[in-house]
Amino acid sequence: MFRKSIPILFAILNGVVLLSCSQNNIKKATAKEDISFMVSVLKSSLTQQYFDKKKATDLVQKLTEMEQQKMFEGVSDSAATEMVTNMLRKETNDKHFNVIAYPKIPSIQNDKPQPKLSSAGISRFKILKNNIGYIKWDLCIANEDAFKEIRRVLDSLSGCDKLIFDISENPGGDGASSAFINQFLYRDKSYQTLLKKKCTGEQDWKQSEVIFNYTNGPTFFDNPIYIITSDKTFSAAEYFAFTAKELKRATIIGKTTAGAGNPGSSVSVALPNSDMFFWMFIPNCQIVTRDGHSIKGIGVKPDVTLKGVNLLNETLEYVLK
């Protein structure tokens, strides 16, 4: 439903751009105008997209009250989006809610270089001592190239006795990637019906897991599996660990995951005369297990909690014991 509203929104914005470009001496939007625009678009998006219609109405009212109380007076775009994000997460207990302000022309920053990811979102894989396979999986990507790369990685580790999936820095992405991997880890296909999903405008729950049933490829049905998690493990990556824990297929090691349990979609918007963009992510589906369990606001608690900073070394120590 929300996806249909995006072209309409941008059509309106484009109309403004065309109209504004015909005028001379365009005045730059102030932070106050930016924030007012952001709140207006957010209210509309919540009404159209959020799966809980009653709660969406409450959230829109909260935003109106924030405006009436002049909470955005004299604050920057970034400060306003932080206030709004905190309110949305507090009211819904859902960390997937996010509103961010960022400049149209990004500043040059000397950030530390990010790891190079493969087409499957895997930054590295190798065979460790004692014939333990290790996969550092940093982003959930699902397409034909990603599936081919996943097969290549699993093929290269097919002779390993044990397997470690490190998703401690995985922010999520497309959950179909987990479904593709799972077919090589589970002999019993009941994992495919563990999770059910209901999205905005839908009356009935439906199966959440994408079904893959490859008849060839490496299998790890009898191999011990270990999954490293942290509070940076988010969204679709959490469900990979959640499914494994619910079905007792793997040992979860590390720290409790973020608890971003409801998938959604995002949109970027901006006033034509502004230097800032606003990026918004709003959940449009809810996911629970057959028994009604959810990770929203809770996350996946590890079977073995680690407190150190080198999660891989600690995991290896545990596995080798």
Quote the tokens at residue 226: 């270990």
Q: Are residues 70 and 171 in the same domain?
A: no
Angle between helices 31-49 and 2-21 (to 10 degrees): 150
Is 145 a residue whose pLDDT tops 50? Answer: yes
116 within some domain: no
39 within some domain: yes
Q: Are residues 277 and 312 in the same domain?
A: no
285 bridge partner residues: 199
180 within some domain: yes
Quote the tokens at residue 218: 């490496």
Query: In the chain, what percentage of residues exceed pLDDT 90?
Result: 82
CB 207 within 8 A of CB 265: no
34 within some domain: yes
Q: Are residues 163 and 302 in the same domain?
A: yes
Q: Are residues 163 and 221 in the same domain?
A: yes
CB 303 within 8 A of CB 245: yes
252 within some domain: yes
Q: Are residues 220 and 141 in the same domain?
A: yes
Q: Are residues 170 and 71 in the same domain?
A: no
Q: DSSP code of 48?
A: H
Quote the tokens at residue 253: 């090691």
Q: Are residues 228 and 247 in the same domain?
A: yes
Determine the Cα–Cα distance for residues 288 and 199; give it in Å rounded to an integer. 12
115 within some domain: no
| pLDDT tens, position by position, 183-220 | 999 999 999 999 999 999 999 999 998 999 877 789 99
Number of domains in the chain: 2
Is 22 a residue whose pLDDT tops 50? Answer: no
Surface-to-core class of residue 75, CB atoms within 10 Å of its CB (0-12 exposed, 13-18 middle, 19+ buried) = middle
Q: Are residues 305 and 167 in the same domain?
A: yes
Determine the Cα–Cα distance for residues 120 and 101; give it in Å rounded to an integer. 29
Q: Between these two residues, 79 and 16, which has the higher pLDDT value?
A: 79
Residue 268 belongs to domain spanning: 2-110+264-284
137 bridge partner residues: 122
How does the average pLDDT of the chain come out, rounded? 89
For residue 239, the domain's CATH number is: 3.90.226.10
Is residue 101 classed as helix, strand or coil in its secondary structure?
strand
Quote the tokens at residue 223: 């191999």
| pLDDT tens, position by position, 210-250 | 999 877 789 999 999 999 999 999 999 999 999 999 999 99
Dihedral, CA of residue 241, residue 242, residue 244 and residue 246, to nearest 10: 160
Q: Are residues 239 and 134 in the same domain?
A: yes
pLDDT at 101: 96
Contact partners, residue 59, CB within 8 Å, separation at least 6: 46, 50, 87, 88, 91, 92
SS3 string, 226-251, reads EEEECCCCCCHHHHHHHHHHHCCCEE
Q: How many residues does the chain have?
A: 321
Determine the Cα–Cα distance for residues 101 and 17; give it in Å rounded to an integer. 20
**CA-CA distances (angstroms) from residue 314 to 96, 305, 308?**
29, 10, 8
Is 13 a residue whose pLDDT tops 90? Answer: no
Q: Are residues 308 and 233 in the same domain?
A: yes
Determine the Cα–Cα distance for residues 219 and 311; give it in Å rounded to an integer. 26
135 within some domain: yes
pLDDT at 54: 96
165 bridge partner residues: 135, 227
pLDDT at 202: 94
pLDDT at 213: 80
| pLDDT tens, position by position, 262-316 | 999 999 999 999 999 999 999 999 999 999 999 999 999 999 999 888 999 999 9
Q: Which residue, 129, 128, 131, 126, is CA-closest to 153?
A: 126
Contact partners, residue 38, CB within 8 Å, separation at least 6: 77, 80, 81, 84, 99, 101, 269, 278
274 within some domain: yes
Q: Are residues 96 and 16 in the same domain?
A: yes
> If you compute the radius of gyration of the chain from its CA atoms, what whole number of angstroms results?
22
198 bridge partner residues: 286
Q: Are residues 246 and 276 in the same domain?
A: no
